[in-house]
Every structure is written in C-alpha cells, then in structure tokens.
Amino acid sequence: MTSPKPAARPLASCKRANYGIDAPDVVLRFFLIGLAGFAVGLACILASRNGLLPWARFLIAPFLNVGFCFVLTALVMIWGSKIGKLRLRDRVLDALPWRGDEFVLDVGCGHGLLLIGAARRLRGGKAIGLDLWQKQDQAGNSREATWQNVEIEGVADRVELKDGDARALPFPDNAFDVILSSWALHNIYDQAGRETAVQEIVRVLKPGGRLLLMDIRHTKEYARVLQLAAPKWSDHAGGAAQMRDVKRAGPNFTFVIPSFTLTATKPG
Ligand SMILES: C[S@@+](CC[C@H](N)C(=O)[O-])C[C@H]1O[C@@H](n2cnc3c(N)ncnc32)[C@H](O)[C@@H]1O
C-alpha cells in the first residue's frame, strides 16, 4: 500500500543555501556585450550632438537596443539561477508520486538543487548526488559547496555525494527508484556521450522506477533514446527494450533558452 505523500521537510537553518549561477561565463559575456552596446550607444549620442559624426545618430537606437537586450538576458539568467529554478524544482518534484522511502539519484547535481529537493521529501531511503563539479557549468561548483547546502537545508542524514561521470555511472543495475537530472546532460558535447549517459541512467533505474530529466537542449534526443531499444542497458536489465510513458513537457523560460522536462517510467 502506498503511504500518504510526505510533506517537504522544513528548513533546518536560517542560513540560505546557494545553488550557484549557471553558465557563469555566458552570463558574464552577455553583461560585457550589453555594457559595450550601451557604451557605443552613448558615444554615438555624444558624437552626433557635438557635430563630430552627424551620421552616428542612426546608430544610437541599434546599439542601445543591443545593450538593453544583452543586459536583460544576463539579469534573467541570474534570476533563473537564484529564484526561477527553485520554483521550477518544487513544481516538478511535487508532481512526482513520492512514498518517502525511495533511493534517489541526481545526475550532475551541482549545488544540489534536485538532490536536496528530493531529500526533503524523504523519511527513509537515500538521495545520492553525482557530479564532476565543473566550475564552467556552475559558478563555485564543488563537492564541499554542495555539502554545505545539504547541511544548511537539514538533510545530511539522507544524502550522499559521489564523484562520477554520467557516462559511466558507478552503480549496479536496477539500483534507484527515482533518477533526476537538471541542466546537466547538455554539458556532454558529443551525441554518443549523451546517449550513453541516458542509457546509463536507465540501466541503474529499478524496474517501475521513475525518471525526470530537465534540460535546455537535446531533450528530443533523450526522448528518442528512451523510446528506442537501448541495448547497453537492456543487456544488463533482462531484455526490456524501451521506457514507458515517455512525456516531454514545456517549454519553461527560466533561463531564457526554453527548458523542457522529460518524464518516463522503466517497465517493471
Ligand atoms: C548547469 S549545472 C546544473 C547543476 C544542477 N543540476 C542544477 O540544476 O542546479 C550542470 C552540472 O552538470 C555537471 N556535469 C556536466 N557533465 C557531467 C558529466 N558528464 N557527469 C556528471 N556531471 C556532469 C556539472 O559539473 C554541473 O554541476
């Protein structure tokens, strides 16, 4: 029998967890391009007003527009990292049918966004976060920073962190009830690598287990891998060839670039 859905655990401390700024280099580049746009726009205003370059007045609006768009995009990306993705995290996790005793894996957990969200829904079980902790993918990314968030959010008794690569998950077949991943797999730049990662995720998911993948790119590709025969895991996992109930939802514009959410269940 399924026990009632457990309520999310309350926060243990008034210190706030820091879930990092995603794609920090992109945010910085957008700010710099935006500021350069404003600077050239202002220079055009001055040059056309004092008669130095009268034709420069035609460039004022285009440069100020470019500056505005890039700075706005950078600000929205920071808002997405600080506020938007926490709201989205709570929405997608609330939509999963939690029992409260699941074994959960967050692939590419970064600062622990989904990992901690899942752990707060557990009374037993375990939530494991796996990552390579790449700083170019998330500012200040490290196992230590994630563990600090785990402690701030009061879930250290339910969480483990592991160093590892999504393409070679260091777990046995059929190990997890729920596997989560947010904005991580697109950081694997070759298609074969991403396909291997999705197949690895399915391999370590238990029959009947649920999968939730969020990403800004390649979600159709992930869905195709889930829907097609996936020999790398079906060899291990007893011949089942495709995931059930593969659904792609979205878009969500938390990071300006549309994010899509994929959910699926492994045949039991
Ligand atoms: C944009 S961050 C997202 C982190 C977290 N899931 C979140 O939503 O805040 C992407 C994360 O994926 C991790 N990552 C990238 N490639 C990976 C791989 N092949 N295996 C495991 N983690 C990976 C990065 O180190 C980084 O922590």
pLDDT tens digit sequence for 233-268: 554 444 445 788 999 998 988 878 899 999 999 998
Judge whether residue 2 has pLDDT over 80. Answer: no
pLDDT for 13? 53
* pLDDT of amino acid 241: 52
Domain 95-265 of CATH type 3.40.50.150: yes
Compute the average pLDDT of residues 212-216. 96
pLDDT of residue 20: 83
Residue predicted with more confidence, 5 or 193 = 193
Pocket probe for ligand 1: among 109, 150, 186, 254, the residue whose CB has the most ligand atoms within 8 Å is 109
**Is residue 23 very low, low, confident or very high in pLDDT (cuts 50, 70, 90)?**
confident
Confirm or reject: Cβ of 93 under 6 Å from ligand 1.
no
Reduce the secondary structure of the chain to three states and give it as a string: CCCCCCCCCCCCCCCCCCCCCECHHHHHHHHHHHHHHHHHHHHHHHHHHCCCCHHHHHHHHHHHHHHHHHHHHHHHHHHHHHHHHHHHHHHHHHCCCCCCCCEEEEECCCCCHHHHHHHCCCCCCEEEEEECCCCCCECCCCHHHHHHHHHHCCCHHHEEEEECCHHHCCCCCCCEEEEEEECCHHHCCCHHHHHHHHHHHHHHEEEEEEEEEEECCCHHHHHHHHHCCCHHHHCCCCCCCCCEEEEEEEEEEEECEEEEEEEEECCC
- Report domain extents, the chain: 24-81, 95-265
Alpha carbon of 245 to ligand 1 centroid (Å): 25
Write out pLDDT tens, residues 76-96. Answer: 989 888 898 999 999 999 999
The mean predicted confidence, pLDDT, of the chain is 89
Q: Quick one: pLDDT at residue 14? A: 66
